[in-house]
């Protein structure tokens, strides 16, 4: 025994206790006094269920722990309804970002009081005193050039002072009144994204903006999260499976989606489904977090994913359709896709190009909407047939009972075996066009072929006897779209493309379509992201995977499904009081008003098809914006170069406006966005950090919209500087948006209010609940907007009174307007009366149009008469005023209750109404789909996540024994998709689509910004989602920053770093024509050479030094990007290509960007 | 001789499911260590491997001298020296990582953002050290080399792998290793403590520091080879992962387990023979430590268990223990660094993926069961690397574990596709395979956490 052991044995050295025989271990029973510290630490007074209102799609239910009135921490709830005995469950849901959220409650970045810029407050107070009128004071400051410049230039440069809520609301109200009176209500704009993440908080501001005639700006398309291919192919904004349905997939491709990071609470389904034998393939440029789970990892060159998908499609068509057709596939595409439909061929340069769908009108039909009824050839008779289900049956009287996918004949997929013709198909891979033959027939004066025949020609899948030049085999690298052709483009070996395509198809065949592709921002957010997506979707459509559990596309990029859609839409649009609201696509709005259009020095025609008729030749994209607005394809704000309230003063305002437009006396504001009459004047941001996150071309925003200093190298001197009179932001933490705002309102956090949350990822709605009351002088968004509305109403009552407002609206999707084409070349005009003094009263009550006009959703109308009655009894009736006798909406809880009562997913009675209407229209039965007695009230969602039921708001079925998958209603009940043919589309025949050569899925490479914009950088600059912050939140959270690099970073490959002389953690600067980013390098061998990542939403506020290039603070990740408009996204009034808010609009894409990076001095000057 | 049966609440983490999200780290931090003196402390951390870990290169025992070594007489000694040496050097600096090896915690001048006076540029919040309160250039953090950021080659485990592993894009591999205190059967931290402040609870095996008795000598920090005992520089006392005993005592899972969104943590009771701990920890060949530790565990159905005087619900829990099944029945969970001879009680299922990828280069079909096994030998994550982590370098148990996982996938794929499943010969019965599938794939809450 050694000396020390002896000591131990005698207990002189250690405490008396039980020791192990060898004296290594000291055993004590628990509960000693020394342990009490940790017992105290683990104690709390209450646990409150809430969640996070951030746009991450998580919608996770959390336990918020409170001790002594202080929020201590949070952890995940685990009480989701069961998915079933043979499946994993949803518990727990959450991520490290969410787990760190409570840090904000008491953090030093918390906004505790209202603030405004000192210089503005001083000027306002002085003018207010002198003029004795808030509105006059505001008018003077904003119209006096010196004063205006003074406070605009101070934006973003500190100097905020605390003000009272009264002063804040007065200033805001005065600005609103002045703007509405002087310029028009559509010069007021609101931006607050993603309602699903906190429906009431979003709706309350949108409701205020909509009541006064202001403009709500879209987010889904602006974020470039909208996959435009979805409206194009499905006629649906986005509808995707819940994550539990990944479990049902036998084959899963994660394509440009880094699931562990961006779908953190859902990733386990993928990890677990592998144990069920699911094969996992990851396609990404870098060896990503997702690649860790891949059976096969394909490193693809950024932005070339479409080429790989096209080559896979080539293999699929060749082996599974031509060489040996599989009945499962051919039956599926005949019934559910446009492949059998006939397309006319138009002669072009001695050959042919595809034209339009052949329609009943072409057959000589006199039926109503014959030009909207598409045609195929019957297998049995060989004759053209006009089947049910096309959009021509959807909105016509004679179409009742016929808008369905029932077939009494078998559609012919191909005309192969007879006459042939050579068609020209555009190439964008460097070649001009492909010459390929298709089988044809003549129908009257038309030479036609099928979409399927065109598709084979386009993919280069030959059949004997067809003219043209075809690939000689998979190894022919000269002809698109062979596996060998894609290899030099994508970097993916041809044999692997073949292998995966085969496995995919075989699995789909043997499982009845259980192959799934999870798609992410890595593929969506390109200029040509829509073409990429169409190439992906083709793989799924051809293999019968859509509308199947475990199959289909799974696009999860920021859309966050607001499941109680119709109730939310009613409240947010204030549709219960007045219709229509002004809802404008964000991208073209910012494009015009931040003057980014001025920096675009190429014409739209330069990106057109080599076979284009030339409609875009010489036209600037901004011209096409105006054209789209003029056609009524999409709305824009301001609409006219005159106050729409003044137009409303005419005896017949609509007729007057039309006449003024016709005469040229009234012009569209989009024609001259830089005319001061056409500027947006007031912008309110809440639940968003526009200027620190989503503002593509951020520096242009700062210079032109805000009028403050920027990192723009050569700002266009002809363009205005400082358009915006007032920028207001509501937030609970300091962001770039609050920093640059004139007025900052202190918001309650997600743990301090009532609200509702839902997502695509799971089928539940659940509640936010306050763990504590809003501390300091913070207010919930709900109560802040009510405060603003009250002050506004007081100021507006006499100054604005009751006015008539002429609202220009686009022809809307899912309404008869979508077959208005070719309508009059003006937007639709509608008149709305606005009682400005009653704004606050209306905000706080459910208006009468609710039951008088009903709630329109996806082409059906809910008539919630009983619900309004119920709400009156549940919430109380307004005792006096304009809203007398209406259900109260004066608390956030009542707003939650109203949303749930007025939505089909949470109110089976409304869902059943909708399905009955659908049954009438389609003539098919939806028996068993609706659960008429299903009803969710707010207290249910407070008790726990509560499962929604099926509703016409969405395309899939909901039930406790199956998972949500989109389009199951279409596939299982023969309900048409909301498209031209009523089927899923491979082919798009709009003129503008032809102009861009995108009638069929096609490979279009990333934009060549060196050629188009003169950009000299050569490194691909990508902004994927961040592991340590998501979207507009969190890149300031100390916990997250401590777990990462503690500040802004740019990831680069070891090769690039070596070339640039950069070591890990060196300060670097990324500079291009749009701005400057200062960050530190993360050098890693998991990055591919030539590509750098600056993860999304790295704001300029944390550890960002001054730039060497400009001497000013470095910018955000979007400082290097620029808005570029793809014209085809603006097509409207054409079946599924019709406008709806956040459904169709130009994307604010940003992935095509390139940059220069250099190592800078390592001393950081702040 | 009948065993002296003791019970321990133990954990298994399935690394094959870990997404590296660090939710466990954050929830643990929020509950236990977000307080002065503990800013740099993460009772639970997650490391990207290959990588240096936290604190930096903690596995380099030549430097840190943690854990036990077997001396020439076959007896265990603390690598850092016995108690007497500790007693003699009690006022000298123990051999322990500096704050820079963990990381110098920082905050930012957040107040600037609100309070900055009007200037010519955008206000910013520069970083500031929480130790010195001076401006800091951040150059290391609790998770600096996340996702292979920077150069992972200083990873001490990498140095042991015989085959040269190149840090190139084409060969890139990574996985995540979440770590908490191992609550060892033979804890070198407890043996290192001169004050008797550290102890292992008799009832559940949780290793704790008695905050009243700790005198802040920090010998435990040196003694722990996993560097999972930390020094609170405000209180001057050692603190460590408590296995959330205030929760476990009332039947709740640890915070890190319940909040794990990868659903990869399992908690359950393991019974062991306390009299065989030293013998097992002292086997001559490091590579025998894994088997030796398995030998210490007691079958919960062993008749001796009934006589051990354990509470009935503990015996019941031991019989339903997912941890016992994963470790001893399916043998897919392995100990972390058994060569430290502490007999750690947090075990790991090694990561399987990506497998088929490795084969595609050879043109084989990786889905075929036979090829799948071949693929394991050539998978992106080298088996040798895993073996250096889990089996003192012996590739055999690692390969066997991976094969069982692969066989389960292959079998279930056939079931999934409606084909006739084939059970590969991996030493698992069909019933075992299905039960293992249920535990790993369905992983129901009440089956993941079986706490008496």
Contact A28/B at CB under 8 A: yes
More confident position, B36 or A8: B36
The DSSP code for A397 is G
Decide if B445 and A107 are in contact by the 8 Å CB cutoff: no
pLDDT for the residue numbered A827: 87
CATH number, domain at A1033?
Answer: 2.40.40.20
Residues B147, B186 share a domain: yes
The tokens describing B280, both together, are: 């097992």
- Per-residue b/e over A523-557, b at no fewer than 16 CB within 10 Å? bbbbbbbbbbbbbbbbbbbbbbbbbbbbbbbbbbb
Residues B242, B307 share a domain: no
User: Quick one: closest CA in B to A109, which residue?
Assistant: B110
Residue length, chain B? 452
Task: State the Cα–Cα distance between residues A214 and A638, nearest whole angstrom.
Answer: 9
Nearest chain B CA: its distance from A1037 CA (Å):
10
Decide if B259 and A92 are in contact by the 8 Å CB cutoff: yes
Q: What are phi and psi of A85, to 5 degrees?
A: -70, -20
Average pLDDT of the residues of chain A: 95
Contact A978, A972 (CB under 8 A): no
The DSSP code for B127 is E
| B87 within domain boundaries | yes
pLDDT for the residue numbered B255: 98
pLDDT band at B166 (very low <50, low <70, confident <90, very high): confident
Q: Which of 173-192 (A) contact B at CB < 8 A?
A: none
Residue A25 has pLDDT above 90, yes or no: no
| B263 within domain boundaries | no
Residues B63, B210 share a domain: yes
Residues B173, B38 share a domain: yes
> What DSSP element (H or E) covers A71?
strand A70-76
Contact A94/B at CB under 8 A: yes
Of A204, A61, A56, A79, the residue nearest A767 (C-alpha)? A61
pLDDT for the residue numbered A826: 79
Residue B419 has pLDDT above 90, yes or no: yes
User: Quick one: closest CA in A to B241, which residue?
Assistant: A38
| B20 within domain boundaries | no
Nearest chain B CA: its distance from A711 CA (Å):
11
Q: What are phi and psi of A1155, to 5 degrees?
A: -155, 165
Residues B428, B301 share a domain: yes
Give B133-148 pLDDT, tens digit per residue.
999 999 999 999 999 9
Residue length, chain A? 1166
pLDDT for the residue numbered A11: 42
Judged on CB neighbours under 10 Å (0-12, 13-18, 19+), A517 is: buried
Give A836-895 pLDDT, tens digit per residue.
999 999 999 999 999 999 999 999 999 999 999 999 999 999 999 999 999 999 999 999
Residue A1031 has pLDDT above 70, yes or no: no
Of A475, A415, A465, the residue nearest A441 (C-alpha)? A415
The DSSP code for A702 is I
Q: How many CB atoms lie within 10 A of CB A760?
A: 26
Residues forming a β-bridge with A351: A348
pLDDT band at B171 (very low <50, low <70, confident <90, very high): confident
| A1143 within domain boundaries | yes
CATH number, domain at B309?
Answer: 3.30.70
| Structural domains in chain B (count) | 2
Q: From residue B19, give the alpha-carbon distance in Å to each of A48, A991, B174, B351.
A: 28, 46, 11, 11
Top residue of B122, B249, B275, B351 to mutate, by most chain A CBs within 10 Å, is B122
Contact B252, A65 (CB under 8 A): no
pLDDT band at A2 (very low <50, low <70, confident <90, very high): very low
| A1101 within domain boundaries | yes
The DSSP code for B29 is I
| A749 within domain boundaries | no
Domain boundary among B248, B282, B302: B248
Q: How many CA atoms lie within 13 A of A872 on its CB side?
A: 17
Residues A1016, A1155 share a domain: yes
Pick A277's closest partner by Cβ from B117, B143, B416: B416
Nearest chain B CA: its distance from A56 CA (Å):
15
CATH number, domain at B224?
Answer: 3.30.70.20
Decide if B138 and A1086 are in contact by the 8 Å CB cutoff: no
Give B7-20 pLDDT, tens digit per residue.
999 999 999 999 99
Strands A351-357 and A828-835: unpaired
Contact A805, A846 (CB under 8 A): no
> What DSSP element (H or E) covers B160?
helix B156-160
Residues A233, A102 share a domain: no
Give B280-339 pLDDT, tens digit per residue.
999 999 999 999 999 999 999 999 999 889 999 999 999 999 999 999 999 999 999 999
Decide if A30 and B206 are in contact by the 8 Å CB cutoff: yes
Q: What ipTM score was computed for the predicted complex, to two decimals?
A: 0.96
| A802 within domain boundaries | no
pLDDT for the residue numbered A885: 98
Residue B358 has pLDDT above 90, yes or no: no
Residues A96, A237 share a domain: no
Residue A517 has pLDDT above 60, yes or no: yes
pLDDT band at A6 (very low <50, low <70, confident <90, very high): very low
Task: State the Cα–Cα distance between residues B149 and A1093, nearest whole angstrom.
Answer: 12
Decide if B31 and A107 are in contact by the 8 Å CB cutoff: no
The tokens describing A477, both together, are: 């690298």
The tokens describing A76, both together, are: 């995940």
The tokens describing A261, both together, are: 């990071």
Minimum mean pLDDT range among A150-154, A545-549, B171-175:
B171-175
Q: Which residues of chain B make contact with A7, given a CB cutoff of 8 A?
A: 83-84, 87
Residues A1017, A1150 share a domain: yes
Residues B205, B298 share a domain: no
Domain boundary among B189, B214, B248: B248
| A540 within domain boundaries | yes
CATH number, domain at A239?
Answer: 3.40.228.10
Average pLDDT of the residues of chain B: 92
Task: State the Cα–Cα distance between residues B77 and B68, nearest whole angstrom.
Answer: 5
pLDDT for the residue numbered A1118: 97
Q: Which residues of chain A make contact with B71, given a CB cutoff of 8 A?
A: none
Residues B285, B193 share a domain: no
More confident position, B365 or B216: B216
What angle (nearest 5°) sits at the alpha carbon of residue A892, between those of residues A887 and A895? 45
Residues B66, B208 share a domain: yes
Residues B285, B161 share a domain: no
Q: Which residues of chain A make contact with B51, given a CB cutoff of 8 A?
A: none
First-to-last alpha carbon distance for chain A, in angstroms, is 63
SS3 content of chain A, % helix, strand, coil (to 5): 35, 20, 45
CATH number, domain at A97?
Answer: 2.20.25.90
Decide if B261 and A93 are in contact by the 8 Å CB cutoff: yes
pLDDT for the residue numbered A571: 98
Of A136, A150, A181, the residue nearest A681 (C-alpha)? A181
Domain boundary among A51, A86, A106: A106
Task: State the Cα–Cα distance between residues A441 and A558, nearest whole angstrom.
Answer: 45
Give A414-446 pLDDT, tens digit per residue.
999 999 999 999 999 999 999 999 999 999 999
What is the 3-state secondary structure of B337-374? CHHHCCCCCEEEECCCCCCHHHHHCCCCCCCCHHHHHH
Name the maximum alpha-carbon separation found in chain A.
110
Top residue of A31, A72, A96 to mutate, by most chain B CBs within 10 Å, is A96
Minimum mean pLDDT range among A22-36, A216-230, A275-289:
A22-36
Residues forming a β-bridge with A517: A253, A553
Decide if A25 and B186 are in contact by the 8 Å CB cutoff: yes
Contact A156, A702 (CB under 8 A): yes
Q: Which residues of chain A make contact with B22, given a CB cutoff of 8 A?
A: 96, 1043
Residues A1018, A1154 share a domain: yes
Q: What are phi and psi of A927, to 5 degrees?
A: -55, 135
Strands A18-19 and A26-28: antiparallel
Pick B113's closest partner by Cβ from A35, A261, A734: A734
Task: State the Cα–Cα distance between residues B68 and A229, nearest whole angstrom.
Answer: 62
Q: Which residues of chain A make contact with B177, given a CB cutoff of 8 A?
A: none
Q: Which residues of chain A make contact with B414, given a CB cutoff of 8 A?
A: 277
Residue B84 has pLDDT above 70, yes or no: no
Judged on CB neighbours under 10 Å (0-12, 13-18, 19+), A189 is: buried
Average pLDDT over residues A1042-1046: 96
Q: What are phi and psi of A705, to 5 degrees?
A: -80, -45
| B237 within domain boundaries | yes
Q: How many CB atoms lie within 10 A of CB B163?
A: 9
Q: How many CA atoms lie within 13 A of A102 on its CB side?
A: 25
Domain boundary among A514, A540, A555: A555
Residue A1111 has pLDDT above 80, yes or no: yes
Q: Which residue has the tokens 């990381």?
A: B103
User: Quick one: closest CA in A to B121, which residue?
Assistant: A157
Q: Which residues of chain B make contact with A496, given a CB cutoff of 8 A?
A: 360
Please give the residue range of the domain that contains residue B158.
Answer: 28-104+139-248
Contact A989, A551 (CB under 8 A): no
Contact A265/B at CB under 8 A: yes
Residues B430, B339 share a domain: yes
Decide if B262 and A93 are in contact by the 8 Å CB cutoff: no
Residue B88 has pLDDT above 80, yes or no: no
Q: Which residue has the tokens 């006589």?
A: B307
Average pLDDT over residues A11-36: 61
Please give the residue range of the domain that contains residue A63.
Answer: 3-106
**Residues of chain A above pLDDT 90, percent:** 94
Dihedral sign, Cα of residue B326, residue B331, residue B332, residue B334? positive
Judged on CB neighbours under 10 Å (0-12, 13-18, 19+), A777 is: middle
Residues B287, B418 share a domain: yes
> What DSSP element (H or E) covers A306?
helix A305-317
What angle (nearest 5°) sits at the alpha carbon of residue B125, between those of residues B120 and B130? 150
Residue A11 makes CB contacts below 8 A (sequence gap 6+) with none
pLDDT band at A260 (very low <50, low <70, confident <90, very high): very high
Residues forming a β-bridge with A598: none
Contact B321, B7 (CB under 8 A): no
| A494 within domain boundaries | yes
More confident position, B124 or A560: B124
Give B313-325 pLDDT, tens digit per residue.
999 999 999 999 9
Average pLDDT over residues B212-225: 94
Residue A347 makes CB contacts below 8 A (sequence gap 6+) with none
- The full DSSP string for A187-241 is GEEEE---GGGSHHHHHHHHHHHHHTT-EEEP-TTTTT-S-THHHHHHSSS----
> What DSSP element (H or E) covers A335?
helix A327-336
Task: State the Cα–Cα distance between residues A338 and A872, nearest whole angstrom.
Answer: 48
Pick A264's closest partner by Cβ from B21, B363, B440: B21
| A421 within domain boundaries | no
| Structural domains in chain A (count) | 3
Decide if A275 and B412 are in contact by the 8 Å CB cutoff: yes
Nearest chain A CA: its distance from B444 CA (Å):
6
Decide if B125 and A1101 are in contact by the 8 Å CB cutoff: yes
| B14 within domain boundaries | no
Average pLDDT over residues B158-186: 89
Pick A1043's closest partner by Cβ from B16, B25, B175: B25
| A674 within domain boundaries | no
What angle (nearest 5°) sits at the alpha carbon of residue A1137, between those of residues A1135 and A1142? 125
Q: Which of 663-722 (A) contact B at CB < 8 A?
A: 709
Q: Which residue has the tokens 């004949």?
A: A409
Residues B180, B214 share a domain: yes
Average pLDDT over residues A539-550: 98
pLDDT for the residue numbered A10: 44
The DSSP code for A1101 is S
Nearest chain A CA: its distance from B395 CA (Å):
21
Contact A883/B at CB under 8 A: no
Residue A191 has pLDDT above 50, yes or no: yes
What angle (nearest 5°) sits at the alpha carbon of residue B195, between those of residues B194 and B200? 95
Chain centroid to Cα A35, Å, comes to 50
Task: State the Cα–Cα distance between residues A1166 and A1107, nearest whole angstrom.
Answer: 9
Average pLDDT over residues A294-306: 95
Residue A824 has pLDDT above 80, yes or no: no
Average pLDDT over residues B97-123: 96
Give A769-814 pLDDT, tens digit per residue.
999 999 999 999 999 999 999 999 999 999 999 999 999 999 999 9
């Amino acid at each position: 025994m050694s000396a020390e052991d002896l000591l131990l044995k005698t207990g002189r050295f250690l405490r008396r206790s039980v020791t192990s025989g060898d004296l290594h271990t000291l055993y004590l029973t628990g509960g000693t006094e020394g342990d009490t510290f940790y017992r105290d630490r683990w104690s709390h007074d209450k646990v409150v269920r809430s969640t996070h209102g951030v746009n991450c799609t998580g919608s996770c239910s959390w336990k918020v722990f409170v001790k002594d009135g202080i929020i201590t921490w949070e952890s995940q709830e685990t009480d989701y309804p069961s998915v079933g005995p043979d499946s994993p469950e949803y518990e727990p849901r959450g991520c490290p970002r969410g787990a760190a959220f409570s840090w904000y409650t008491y953090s030093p970045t918390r906004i505790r009081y209202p603030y405004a810029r000192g210089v503005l407050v001083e000027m306002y107070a002085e003018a207010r005193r002198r003029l004795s009128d808030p509105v006059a004071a505001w008018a003077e400051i904003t119209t006096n050039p010196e004063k205006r410049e003074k406070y605009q230039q101070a934006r973003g440069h500190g100097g905020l002072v605390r003000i009272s809520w009264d002063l804040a609301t007065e200033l805001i109200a005065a600005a609103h009144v002045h703007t509405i009176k002087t310029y028009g209500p559509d010069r007021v704009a609101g931006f607050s994204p993603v309602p699903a993440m906190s429906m009431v908080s979003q709706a309350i501001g949108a409701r205020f903006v909509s009541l006064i005639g202001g403009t709500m700006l879209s987010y889904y398309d602006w974020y470039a999260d909208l996959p435009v291919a979805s409206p194009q192919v499905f006629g649906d904004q986005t509808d995707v499976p819940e994550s539990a349905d990944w479990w049902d997939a036998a084959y899963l491709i994660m394509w440009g989606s880094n699931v562990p990071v961006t779908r953190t609470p859902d990733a386990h389904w993928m990890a677990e489904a592998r144990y069920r034998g699911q094969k996992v393939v990851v396609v990404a440029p870098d060896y990503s977090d997702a690649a860790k789970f891949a059976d096969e990892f394909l490193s693809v060159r950024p932005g070339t994913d479409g080429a790989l998908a096209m080559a896979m499609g080539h293999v699929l068509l060749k082996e599974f359709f031509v060489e040996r057709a599989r009945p499962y596939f051919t039956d599926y595409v005949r019934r559910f896709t446009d492949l059998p439909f006939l397309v006319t061929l138009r002669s072009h340069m001695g050959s042919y190009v595809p034209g339009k769908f052949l329609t009943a009108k072409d057959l000589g039909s006199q039926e109503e909407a014959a030009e909207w009824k598409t045609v195929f050839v019957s297998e049995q008779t060989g004759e053209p047939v006009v089947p049910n289900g096309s959009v021509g049956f959807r909105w016509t009287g004679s179409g009742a009972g016929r808008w369905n996918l029932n077939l009494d004949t078998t559609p012919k997929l191909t005309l192969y075996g007879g006459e042939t013709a050579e068609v020209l198909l555009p190439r964008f891979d460097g070649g001009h066009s492909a010459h390929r033959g298709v089988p044809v027939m003549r129908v009257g004066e038309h030479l036609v072929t099928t979409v399927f025949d065109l598709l084979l020609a386009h993919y280069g899948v030959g059949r004997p006897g067809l003219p043209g030049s075809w690939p000689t085999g998979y190894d022919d690298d000269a002809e698109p779209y062979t596996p060998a052709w894609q290899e030099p483009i994508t970097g993916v070996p041809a044999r692997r493309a073949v292998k995966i395509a085969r496995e995919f198809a075989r699995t789909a065949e043997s499982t009845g379509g259980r192959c799934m592709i999870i798609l992410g921002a890595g593929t969506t957010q390109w200029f040509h992201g829509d073409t990429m997506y169409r190439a992906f979707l083709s793989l799924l459509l051809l293999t019968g995977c859509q509308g199947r559990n475990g199959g289909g596309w799974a696009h999860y990029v920021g859309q966050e499904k607001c499941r109680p859609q119709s109730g939310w839409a009613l409240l947010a649009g204030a549709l219960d009081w007045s219709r229509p609201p002004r809802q404008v696509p964000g991208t073209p709005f910012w494009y015009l008003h931040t003057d980014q259009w001025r920096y675009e020095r190429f014409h739209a025609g330069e990106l057109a098809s080599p076979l284009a008729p030339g409609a875009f030749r010489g036209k600037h994209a901004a011209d096409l914006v105006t054209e789209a607005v003029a056609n009524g394809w999409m709305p824009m704000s301001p609409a006219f170069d005159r106050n729409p309230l003044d137009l409303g003063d005419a005896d017949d305002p609509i007729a007057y406006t039309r006449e003024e437009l016709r005469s040229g006396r009234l012009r569209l504001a989009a024609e001259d966005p830089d005319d001061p009459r056409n500027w947006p004047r007031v912008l309110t941001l809440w639940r968003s950090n526009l200027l620190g996150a989503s503002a593509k071309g951020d520096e242009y925003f700062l210079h032109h919209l805000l009028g403050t200093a920027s990192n723009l190298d050569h700002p266009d001197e002809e363009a205005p500087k400082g358009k915006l009179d007032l920028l207001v932001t509501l937030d609970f933490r300091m962001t770039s948006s609050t920093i640059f705002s004139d007025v900052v309102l202190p918001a309650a956090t997600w743990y301090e209010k009532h609200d509702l949350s839902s997502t695509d990822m799971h089928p539940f709605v659940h509640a936010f609940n306050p763990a504590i009351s809003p501390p300091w002088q913070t207010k919930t968004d709900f109560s802040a907007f009510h405060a603003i509305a009250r002050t506004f109403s007081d100021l507006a009552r006499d100054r604005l009174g009751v006015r008539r407002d002429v609202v220009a609206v686009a022809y809307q999707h899912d309404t008869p307007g979508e077959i208005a084409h070719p309508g009059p070349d003006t937007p639709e005009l509608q008149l709305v009366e606005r009682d400005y003094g009653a704004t606050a009263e209306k905000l706080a009550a459910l208006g009468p149009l609710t039951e008088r006009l009903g709630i329109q959703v996806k082409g059906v109308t809910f008539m919630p008469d009983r619900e309004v009655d119920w709400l009156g009894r549940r919430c109380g009736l307004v005792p006096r005023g304009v809203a007398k006798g209406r259900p109260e909406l004066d608390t956030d809880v009542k707003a939650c209750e109203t949303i749930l009562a007025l939505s089909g997913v949470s109110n089976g009675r409304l869902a059943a109404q909708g399905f009955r209407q659908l049954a009438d229209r389609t003539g098919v039965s939806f028996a068993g789909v609706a659960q008429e007695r299903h009803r969710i009230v707010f207290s249910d969602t407070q008790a726990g996540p509560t499962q929604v039921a099926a509703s016409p708001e969405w395309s899939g079925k909901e039930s406790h024994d199956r998972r949500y998958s989109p389009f199951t209603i279409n596939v299982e009940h023969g309900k048409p998709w909301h498209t031209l043919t009523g089927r899923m589309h491979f082919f798009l025949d709009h003129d503008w689509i032809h102009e861009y050569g995108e009638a069929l899925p096609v490979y279009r490479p990333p934009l060549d910004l060196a050629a188009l914009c003169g950009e000299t950088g050569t490194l691909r600059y990508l902004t994927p989602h961040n592991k340590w912050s998501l979207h507009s939140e969190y890149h300031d959270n100390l916990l997250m920053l401590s777990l990462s690099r503690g500040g802004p970073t740019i990831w680069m490959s070891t090769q690039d770093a070596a070339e640039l002389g950069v070591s890990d953690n060196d300060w670097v600067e990324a500079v291009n024509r749009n701005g400057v980013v200062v960050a530190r390098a993360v050098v890693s061998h998991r990055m591919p050479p030539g590509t750098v990542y600056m993860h999304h939403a790295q704001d300029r506020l944390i550890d960002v030094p001054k730039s060497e290039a400009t001497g000013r603070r470095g910018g955000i990740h979007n400082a290097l990007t620029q808005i570029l408009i793809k014209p085809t996204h603006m097509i409207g009034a054409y079946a599924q290509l019709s406008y709806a808010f956040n459904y169709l609009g130009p994307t604010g894409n940003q992935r095509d960007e390139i940059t220069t990076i250099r190592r800078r001095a390592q001393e950081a000057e702040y | 001789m009948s065993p002296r049966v003791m019970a321990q609440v133990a954990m298994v983490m399935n690394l094959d499911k870990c997404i590296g999200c660090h939710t466990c780290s954050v929830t643990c931090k929020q509950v236990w260590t977000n307080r002065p003196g503990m800013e740099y402390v993460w009772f639970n951390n997650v490391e990207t491997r290959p990588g240096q870990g936290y604190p930096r290169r903690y596995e380099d025992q030549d430097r840190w001298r943690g854990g036990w070594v077997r001396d020439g007489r076959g007896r265990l000694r603390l690598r850092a020296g016995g108690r007497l040496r500790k007693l003699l050097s009690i006022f000298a600096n123990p051999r322990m990582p500096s704050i820079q090896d963990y990381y110098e915690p920082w905050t930012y001048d957040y107040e600037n953002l609100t309070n900055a006076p009007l200037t010519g540029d955008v206000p910013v919040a520069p970083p500031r050290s929480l130790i010195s309160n001076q401006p800091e250039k951040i150059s290391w953090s609790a998770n600096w080399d996340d996702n292979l950021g920077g150069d992972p080659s200083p990873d001490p485990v990498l140095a042991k792998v015989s085959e040269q592993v190149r840090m190139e894009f084409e060969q890139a591999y990574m996985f995540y290793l979440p770590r908490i205190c191992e609550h060892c059967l033979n804890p070198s931290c407890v043996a290192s403590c001169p004050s008797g402040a550290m102890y292992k609870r008799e009832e559940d095996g949780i290793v704790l520091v008695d905050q009243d008795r700790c005198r802040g000598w920090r010998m435990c920090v040196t003694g722990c080879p996993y560097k999972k005992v930390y020094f609170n520089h405000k209180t001057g006392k050692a603190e460590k992962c408590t296995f959330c005993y205030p929760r476990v005592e009332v039947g709740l899972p640890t915070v890190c387990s319940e909040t794990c969104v990868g659903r990869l943590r399992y908690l359950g009771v393991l019974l062991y023979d306390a009299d065989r701990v030293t013998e097992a920890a002292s086997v001559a060949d490091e590579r025998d430590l894994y088997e030796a530790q398995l030998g210490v565990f007691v079958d919960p159905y062993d008749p001796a268990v009934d006589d051990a005087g354990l509470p009935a619900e503990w015996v019941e829990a031991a019989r339903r223990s997912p941890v016992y099944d994963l470790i001893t029945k399916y043998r897919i969970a392995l100990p972390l660094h058994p060569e430290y001879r502490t007999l750690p009680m947090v075990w790991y299922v090694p990561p399987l993926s990506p497998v088929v990828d490795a084969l595609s280069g050879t043109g084989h079909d990786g889905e075929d069961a036979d090829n799948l096994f071949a693929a394991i030998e050539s998978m992106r994550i080298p088996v040798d690397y895993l073996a250096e982590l889990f089996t003192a370098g012996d590739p055999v148990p690692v390969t066997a574990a991976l094969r069982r996982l692969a066989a389960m996938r292959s079998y279930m794929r056939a079931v999934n596709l409606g084909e006739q499943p084939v059970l590969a010969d991996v030493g698992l019965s069909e019933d075992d395979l299905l039960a293992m599938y249920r535990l790993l794939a369905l992983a129901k809450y009440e089956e993941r956490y079986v706490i008496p």
